[in-house]
């Protein structure tokens, strides 16, 4: 039991311990981004390419996590990001007119919209096949599901060779995650799978940083509690 709880907690938080090894590195990154954003305001399109390249890893994670399983193998992640980049380039004036969120959170929203458009195009095409039953309009970039979270988390805390254990963990995790509030599940998804900071989670969900932090801690504690009940 204790081993399982530790695995869940470590799997959820291990990425954050060394995220900013020093305040100087964080400050340097902020200064670099400010410089690139200024170049972007002045019409330097290369600055967008630089910013996009810096955040590409996190944007890839978002696409892989949010892409509907029915489109695996049919939709290429690079194509999604290329479409996102071009749409972002077109909509930059709108962002600078009223930048209410950080640039990465805005890029995430552009990725979100691109995914919505891609799902509509591809799933509508499938829906035209009379032998398929495909719900298109129900896919609206939903909050993270317990099944998707459990699958990704179980893969993180077990190795590929432990297939039976991974499936069992996924089932346990899904039952535990089903007990969480939808927003708490989404906070876990944003922090763990999309690799957002607490501030970015707050911006993405339109809540305070304190509320985002409290929800994250509460979700972790509740998840560990429910995993304990499930194993007991």
List the domain boundaries for the chain.
Answer: 2-16+143-231, 54-127
Cβ proximity of 34 and 99 under 8 Å: no
The ranges of the chain with pLDDT < 50 are 1-5, 7, 13-27, 130-142
Indicate yes or no: pTM above 0.85: no
What's the pLDDT score for residue 7? 46
DSSP3 helix / strand / coil % (the chain, rounded to 5)? 75, 0, 25
Q: What CATH number labels 2-16+143-231?
A: 1.20.140.160
Cβ proximity of 226 and 175 under 8 Å: yes
What's the pLDDT score for residue 10? 52
Cβ proximity of 180 and 219 under 8 Å: yes
What's the pLDDT score for residue 81? 97
User: How confident is the model over 5-47, as pLDDT tens digits?
Assistant: 454 555 554 443 444 333 343 445 578 888 999 999 999 999 9
Contacts 24+ apart (CB under 8 A), 126-131: 126/70
Q: 44's torsion region: left (phi>0), alpha (psi -120 to 50) or beta? A: beta
């Amino acid at each position: 039991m204790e081993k399982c709880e530790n695995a869940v907690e470590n799997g959820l938080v291990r990425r954050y311990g060394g995220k900013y090894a020093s305040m100087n590195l964080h400050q340097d990154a902020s200064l670099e981004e400010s410089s690139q954003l200024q170049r972007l305001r002045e019409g330097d399109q290369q600055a967008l390419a630089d910013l996009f390249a810096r955040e590409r890893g996190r944007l890839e994670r978002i696409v892989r996590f949010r892409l509907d399983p029915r489109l695996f193998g049919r939709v290429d992640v690079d194509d999604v990001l290329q479409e996102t980049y071009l749409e972002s380039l077109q909509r930059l004036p709108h962002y600078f007119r009223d930048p209410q969120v950080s640039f990465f959170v805005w890029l995430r929203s552009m990725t979100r919209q691109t995914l919505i458009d891609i799902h509509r195009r591809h799933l509508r095409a499938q829906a035209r096949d009379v032998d398929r039953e495909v719900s298109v309009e129900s896919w609206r970039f939903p909050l993270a599901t317990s099944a998707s979270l459990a699958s990704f988390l179980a893969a993180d805390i077990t190795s590929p060779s432990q297939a039976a254990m991974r499936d069992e963990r996924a089932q346990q995790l899904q039952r535990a995650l089903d007990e969480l509030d939808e927003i708490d599940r989404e906070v876990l998804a944003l922090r763990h799978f999309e690799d957002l900071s607490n501030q970015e989670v707050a911006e993405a969900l339109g809540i305070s940083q304190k509320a985002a932090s409290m929800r994250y801690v509460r979700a972790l504690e509740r998840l560990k509690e429910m995993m304990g009940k499930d194993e007991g």
